[in-house]
Chain A
Amino acid sequence: MRDTILEDTEAGNGDTTSKFGMWLFLFTELFLFVVLFFVFLSYRASYPEGFHHASIRLNGVIATANTFILLTSSFAVAISIVAIRKGHKRVTIWALIVTIALGVLFLVMKGFEWREKIEHGIYPTAKGLSGLGEGENLFYGLYYLMTGLHALHVIGGIVLLFVMLCFVGNGRVSRGSYGALENSALYWHLVDIIWIYLFSFFYLVS
């Protein structure tokens, strides 16, 4: 009963209303990272040398592969939207499974990259970190902070998409109402976009 009333509340434009709210939420998420971009760029301006040296020591191969993985996963989630719009439930489910699998793969690769750094004694609170050149410790500090926060968002996105997978399975998300899936896909795209920025900042601009 409550649900009918609430839908009534969002009379006639429930889907556009929730999407409007979702966009606002995505902006707030973006601003969260913009603060860190601001911090990163201001220190990069202060210590161009240190940031350069630190950057070339990161593993660019894994990061590049990860970029392709995330972009592909975004493509997969887009397919799931097209599929549900046309009512192909099986395709939707498989597209979501692929998206989630790629998301997990991204995290695993990220884990390997972190482990490699940690084995070299580069991690926050490590003694060796303060012995690095000027600005390098800041670079690695921000590296762990920003990629770590991004990884949390990836995990959040995976959980969200998993819930959507269940909803598609039991029919709560279907051809008739797929607003929740669309919003989850939007969130996944945001995670992707933020990674593009992180990739450029940490690996490309050196």
Chain B
Amino acid sequence: MSDEYYREEVSGAAPVTGFYDSSGRRAGFTPWLLSWIFSLDHKRIAILYLVSTLSFFAVGVSLGFLIRLELIAPGATIVDARTYNAFFTLHGVIMIFLFIIPVTTGVFGNFLLPIQIGAKDMAFPRLNLLSWWFYIIGAALVLLSLFTGDGLPDTGWTFYVPYSLKTAADISLTAFALFILGFSSILTGINFVTTVHKLRAPGMRWHRLPLFVWSIYSTAWILVIATPVLGMTLLLVIAERTLGLGIFDPVRGGDPILYQHLFWIYSHPAVYVMILPGMGIVAEIIPVFTRRVIFGYRAIAYSSVMIAVVGSMVWGHHMFVSGFSKTAAFVFSLFTFLVAIPSAIKVFNWISSLYRGSIVLEAPFLLALVFIFQFTVGGLTGLILGTLSVDVHLHDTTFVVGHFHYMKFGGGGFAFFAGLHYWFPKIFGRMYIKRYANIAVAFLFVGFNTLYFPMLVMGYKGMPRRYFDYLPEFQLYHVVSTVGSWILITGLIIMFVNLIYSIRRGEKAGANPWGGATIEWQTTSPPPVLNFVDPPVVDRGPYDYR
């Protein structure tokens, strides 16, 4: 197990090898498996997250595919309305809580944060492993809750009361599962913040931190501050369902709107958990593939922190039509517009960094460009939704669905893919087939926009979201959107087949295939167990090319 694994590496009996070449594999399957699932090495834990989150991504994509297929024609097409409700609920719960929230922090945060600051591991390696186990336990409970209730969960991922208190599905168990997942997030957040504060290598001053570290650091703070609110809110739902305290029941003096407040106090900051690490990835990729120092390092770094701060005060914009005072609505709308400022600072700085750079068009960079485009569409549609009067018209339409997917999938998801293509040679020591990677990017870009842009249009024309049936006039948009989902899935298949094939069979990549200046490229690919054979030298900023 991990004891032997460490001993072997440290005693020097074996030559310094990549972190995943352990003796366990020779000893048989079970010891090999144990050496992974109980490993304290942050890089192995990152791989655990990679495998588990991508497995759930595959499930979520399949559900999304089925939702789109159902909507290709009005009325019942492949399933009945109840099953459809379960589909979009599970799609939301899986994609949000099991994929996009944990994925970038779990995979790249774990893998790169210690390496980029020159540390040997996280501040609390055991806690790190525990985070992953909480994630797995939470995910298992989510799956279990599908079978324990009378019917599948059908509340939508937001669990709005009063329906979530009345449905026959086992929402208590689903909520408890998300509570456990919340614990995983909290422990991850504590670990990351502590690591950045305490384990930076000599010479790694705050303003020499790579921008990815800044974004992960901001994300970790959001996890620490906001996740307890979600935990408590979910406990309240469980308490209501089992004890019936009446906290959300207007008949007994409670207030259902309070639930919405509590839910969004967490869930709005959580959408920044989904996008901030992605912004960090893009900020890493751009200077490397333009061969110049990033424009406005401090502006990008501080805007991450500013997004984390301001983003915590905008939750009310989800509730403009739920009924609260005009003053409150005005203030929340104002703060929503303010979040656009740090986001725009980032976009302008990324684009300025392209100016007079020596641009090299490789898959990570292409994906970063796609990210900037799609993130901009998502951001601008967000401003449209943040406008009070317009929101009344657009609330609960597919416009919101389109906006959200442009941000979270077109932004966060594509940034994750970009990071996957950028750090793949570092993680696995081999290079994927670049030609196929580029083809996959083309499919992803075309498929994504064909899938989601019609949603913006038909939402504007009045197509409500989450509806099982629709008027014939919307069918054209739905058909285009469904065809888009097929193109997108084709792109995903090409991308993942290429990557999985290349883990074993790709060409050796070498320590620094892209010519990056951040210190993860100073060590070997894949990195050795304690990350660096020689202590890393930090005597300059992260993007100062020599």
Contacts and interface: CB of A to CB of B under 8 A. Distances in A.
Nearest to A47: B253
A13 interface: yes
Contact of B253 (A16, A36, A39, A134): A134
B244 interface: yes
A29 B40 CA distance: 25
A10 B10 contact: no
Interface string B169-202: 0000000000000000010011101100111000
Interface in B254-281: 254-255, 258, 262
Contacts of A29: 228
Contact of A39 (B7, B193, B258): B258
A138 B191 contact: no
Given A2-B2, A21-B123, A16 B198 contact: yes
A170 to B, nearest CB: 20
Contacts of B10: 1, 5
A28 B232 contact: no
Contacts of B120: 8-9
Contacts of B193: 24
B189 to A, nearest CB: 8
A123 to B, nearest CB: 9
Contacts of B456: none
B229 A2 contact: no
A6 B40 contact: yes
A35 B262 contact: yes
Interface size class of B (residues with CB under 8 A): 35 or more
Nearest to A123: B243
A141 interface: yes
The size class of the interface chain A forms with chain B is: 35 or more
A42 B236 CA distance: 15
A141 B247 contact: yes
B194 A17 contact: yes
Contacts of A43: 247, 253-255
B1 to A, nearest CB: 10
A2 B125 CA distance: 11
A25 B125 CA distance: 16
A130 interface: yes
B146 to A, nearest CB: 27
A5 B6 contact: yes
B258 A24 contact: no
A2 B3 contact: yes
Nearest to A30: B228
Given A21-B191, A141-B247, A31 B252 contact: no
A197 interface: no
Nearest to B194: A21
A145 interface: yes
Contacts of A36: 232
A45 B62 CA distance: 47
Contacts of B123: 9-10, 17, 20-21
Contacts of B119: 9
A125 interface: yes
A124 B258 contact: no
B258 A138 contact: no
Contacts of B243: 124-125, 141, 144
B40 A28 contact: no
A31 B223 CA distance: 12
Interface string B226-256: 0111011101100100011111000011110
Contacts of B227: 28
A27 interface: yes
B185 to A, nearest CB: 10
A13 B3 contact: no
Contacts of B194: 17, 20-21, 24
A32 interface: yes
A157 interface: no
Interface string A42-60: 1100110010000000000
20 contacts: A1-B10, A9-B199, A9-B530, A17-B194, A20-B123, A21-B191, A21-B194, A24-B194, A27-B224, A28-B190, A32-B231, A35-B232, A38-B262, A39-B247, A46-B253, A47-B253, A137-B253, A138-B253, A141-B247, A144-B245
